[in-house]
Structure 1
Amino acid sequence: MIDSLSHEVVNLKVKDSSSIARAHFSLGEIYRKRIPLADSAYFHYHKAEKIYRKLSEEFNIAKALYGIAVIQCNEKDFIGSEVTAIEAITLLESLDETNGVKKYKAYIYNTLGIVFDELEQYGESTKYYNLALKFKKELRGNFSASINYTLNNLADSYTRSGQYELAIENYKLILENKQLIKEQPGFYALVLGNYGHTLYLSKHLKEIPNLYLKALKISDSIDYKGYNSIIISQHLAEYYNDINYKDSAKFYAYRAKNISKKYHNDDLLKSLLLLSEIEEGDIAAKHLKDYVKLSDSLQKNERRIRNKFARIRFETQQIEQENVRIAKERMWLLIISAVLVISSFLLYLVITQRNRNKELQFIQKQQETNEEIYNLMLSQNESIEEARTQEKKRISEELHDGVLGRLFGTRLSLDSLNMSNSAEAIKTREQYINELKTIEQDIRKVSHELNTDFVSGSGFIDIIKTFLETQTLAYKLKYILELDDAINWDEASNKNKIHIYRIIQESLHNIYKHANATQVNISFKLKNNVICLTMRDNGSGYDVNKAKTGIGLKNMRSRINDINGSINIDSEIDVGTTVIIEAPIT
Structure 2
Amino acid sequence: MKSYRILSLFFYFLIIGLINSPVIGQQSSPDSIIYNRQLVLEPKNNDDLIKGYTFFRNHKEQSFRLKDTISTLYYLQMIAIAESELGAFHEAEETIAEALNLIDYNSSPSSFIEDKIRLNTELGIVYRALHDYDKALEVYEKTLSISHPSMDRISIINNMANVYRDQGKFNQAEEEYQKVYKERLLRNDLRRTARALNNLGSVQGKLNNPEGIKNMLEALEIRIAVEDVSGTFSSYNHLTDYYKDKNEIVKAKHYAVLGYEYANNYSPKYKLQALTNLLELSNDKLVVQYGKLNDSINTAKLLRDNKFAIAKYNVEKEQRKTLESELQREKQKRITLFYQSIGGFILVASGFLYFLLRSRFKKQKLKEIYETETRISKKVHDEVANDVYQVMTKIQGASTNSETLLDDLESIYVKTRDISKENSAVDVIHNFETTLNDLLLTYQNSNVSIVTRNSSKISWKQVSEAKKTTIYRVLQELMTNMRKHSDATLVLVSFQQENNKISITYSDNGKGCDLKKNNGLQNAENRIHTVKGTLIFESEKGNGFKVKMTL
Length-normalised TM-score, structure 1? 0.41
Length-normalised TM-score, structure 2? 0.43
